[in-house]
Amino acid sequence: MGESEHEGHRQSEEVAQREVQQSTSLASPQIFEVIRHEGMEELNRPRGSLAWSGVAAGIALSLSVYCQAFLLSLDGEMPWARSLFGGILPTLLGNIIGGTGLFPLTTYAQVRDEVKPE
């Protein structure tokens, strides 16, 4: 690496360090405002898109139950119908309803006084 390349690398590293220091020195109200702004942008997505995000999240959160039910059924320790109707579907529905309905409502109830309409 030549002298000028080394100097350029050092300068870009210093710039990166300054940017990190500036971004980590935000006050709590600034951090709250950044998060609130990003949340409001997400809420402006089409309702269908939000619904499918909730379904995908419910599926992902339930993955361990799916695997356990599948392995128990595969091993013969649990009938397929019981693993589907007694484990997989209730878990999926609970995560979708809880994750996309109840959790956002309780979270909003906690911060509704601090959220300003745009």
If pLDDT is split at 50, 70 and 90, which confidence band does 11 have?
A: confident
Is the Cβ–Cβ distance between 61 and 103 less than 8 Å?
A: no
| pLDDT for position 6 | 58
DSSP H or E run through 85 = none
- Is the pLDDT confidence value at 67 over 70? yes
Residue that the structure tokens 């091993």 belong to: 75
